[in-house]
């Protein structure tokens, strides 16, 4: 998909498309009084929440799983949550081994490193293509980070992740995903203490397992946004905070004001730090009809699947809350 076409890709257009479809469906089926509930996880969870916020007459309620409604440029919390989960589930030794492995990879791929070490690192990381520049190396190392990040984010899924599967499976849609990160949502993971990352946060968060790979500042993600999507620093700046800041203004960020939205998050999900957790609901939000459920020991999009007798108690309770919310919304429309 070309950069020219990608400029039409936005959450605003997706929301307008969704509400237009709802209207069209009602007209086609002579059912303009049907009740609709928005339902989604991750990006679609984000859209589900915003659809109820922006088009409240189109849906009577929304269930938003792992919905990252807060747009944020320096998303340091992601790696911090990953580190906490890795340490809690695998022990401090696991975290140390990962940090050591990343340090070795950085050294092996650095300029001036022995060719044999570089070749071994490229082979072990299963690079899609041979890195020929510092940007290529940064992307390869970022992919190595992504493997472990995905294992934490989807720790309830029994599939293996490696850079090879990242290259093979991620190619068709990853371009659109990164465009929206550049244009609307930010969410560049970074290391606390580096330039531009977690500035003003007190106390300063401790280093994460990804510290050896972390960018020295946040210019590298901006450079990729410019290079990948054919924008320059004089064009409407996808690399700046402007659009991401406007997303929070338009949608409310974590302080959105709407009714009949249920946020569902796993406590082990890195994206929960930019969603809405129960302890973050304001009095006004709660009185206005916003609800939030957090599931212990669960990760990204937990609870979306059907109820099972094998569900842990925390997961079963969360699913029961979803059912309760949906029934209450439907009762109001009866």
Query: Three-class SS string for 39-91?
Result: EEECHHHHHHHHHHHHCCCCCCEEEEECCCCCCEEECHHHHHHHHHHHHHHHC
pLDDT of residue 165: 42
| Cα separations in angstroms, 295 against 64, 77, 192, 266, 278 | 14, 18, 26, 5, 10
Polymer length of the chain: 334
Mean pLDDT lowest for which of 226-230, 248-252, 255-259, 270-274? 226-230
Mean pLDDT lowest for which of 49-58, 113-122, 209-218, 251-260? 209-218
Average per-residue pLDDT for the chain: 81
Contact 192, 208 (CB under 8 A): yes
pLDDT of residue 46: 95
Q: Partners of 72 in the beta sheet?
A: 186
Instruction: Read off the pLDDT of residues 8-52 as tens digits, 9 standing for 90 and up.
Output: 788 899 999 999 999 999 989 888 778 999 999 999 999 999 999
At residue 227's C-alpha, the angle toward residues 222 and 230, to 5°, is 115
State the average pLDDT over residues 220-229.
65
Check pLDDT > 70 for residue 237.
no
**H helical segments located in the chain:** 3-6, 11-28, 43-54, 76-90, 92-109, 115-124, 134-153, 163-180, 219-228, 242-251, 283-288, 313-333
Closest CA to 334 of 139, 60, 74: 60
DSSP H or E run through 37: strand 37-41
Mean pLDDT lowest for which of 90-99, 109-118, 142-151, 296-305? 142-151
Check pLDDT > 70 for residue 300.
yes
d(CA 314, CA 168): 35
Mean pLDDT lowest for which of 92-96, 214-218, 247-251? 214-218
pLDDT of residue 321: 96
pTM higher than the cut 0.75: yes
d(CA 145, CA 204): 22
d(CA 273, CA 270): 6
pLDDT of residue 318: 97
pLDDT of residue 167: 38
Tell me which of 233 and 136 has the higher pLDDT.
136
Instruction: Read off the pLDDT of residues 142-168 as tens digits, 9 standing for 90 and up.
Output: 888 888 888 888 876 444 443 234 334
Contact 145, 213 (CB under 8 A): yes
Structure-token pair, residue 223: 């450079």
Confidence of residue 233 (pLDDT cuts 50, 70, 90): very low
Provide φ and ψ at 175, rounded to 5°: -65, -45
Characterize the bridge pairing of strands 37-41 and 186-188.
unpaired
Confidence of residue 227 (pLDDT cuts 50, 70, 90): low
The residue behind tokens 């930019």 is 274
What's 1's DSSP letter? -
pLDDT of residue 222: 62
Contact 280, 273 (CB under 8 A): no
d(CA 149, CA 315): 22
pLDDT of residue 159: 47
Count Cα atoms within 13 angstroms, Cβ side, for 118: 11
Contact 52, 251 (CB under 8 A): no
Contact 67, 48 (CB under 8 A): yes
């Amino acid at each position: 998909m070309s950069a020219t076409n990608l400029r039409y890709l936005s959450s605003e257009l997706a929301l307008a498309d969704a509400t237009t479809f709802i209207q069209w469906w009602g007209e086609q089926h002579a059912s303009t009084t049907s009740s609709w509930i928005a339902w989604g996880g991750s990006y679609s969870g984000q859209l589900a929440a915003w659809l109820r916020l922006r088009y409240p007459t189109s849906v009577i309620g929304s269930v938003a799983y792992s919905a990252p409604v807060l747009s944020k440029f320096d998303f340091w919390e992601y790696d911090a949550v990953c580190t906490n989960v890795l340490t809690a589930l695998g022990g401090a030794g696991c975290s140390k081994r990962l940090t050591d492995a990343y340090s070795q990879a950085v050294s092996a791929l650095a300029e001036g490193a022995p060719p044999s070490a570089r070749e071994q690192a490229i082979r072990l990381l299963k690079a899609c293509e041979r890195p020929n520049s510092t940007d290529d190396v940064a992307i390869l190392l970022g992919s190595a980070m992504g493997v472990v990040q995905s294992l934490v984010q989807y720790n309830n899924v029994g599939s293996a992740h490696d850079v090879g599967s990242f290259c093979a499976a991620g190619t068709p849609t990853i371009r659109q995903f990164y465009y929206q990160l550049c244009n609307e949502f930010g969410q560049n993971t970074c290391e606390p203490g580096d330039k531009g990352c977690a500035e003003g946060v007190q106390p300063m968060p401790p280093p994460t397992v990804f510290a050896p790979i972390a960018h020295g500042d946040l210019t590298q993600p901006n450079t990729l946004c410019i290079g990948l999507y054919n924008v320059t620093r004089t064009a409407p700046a996808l690399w700046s905070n402007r659009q991401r800041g406007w997303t929070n203004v338009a949608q409310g960020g974590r302080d959105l004001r709407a009714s009949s939205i249920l946020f569902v998050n796993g406590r082990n999900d890195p994206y929960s730090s930019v969603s809405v957790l129960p302890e973050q609901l304001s009095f006004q939000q709660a009185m206005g009809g916003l609800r939030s459920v957090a599931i212990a020991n669960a990760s990204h999009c937990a609870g979306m699947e059907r109820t099972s007798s094998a569900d842990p108690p925390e997961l079963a309770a969360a699913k029961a809350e979803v059912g309760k919310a949906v029934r209450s919304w439907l009762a109001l429309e009866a």
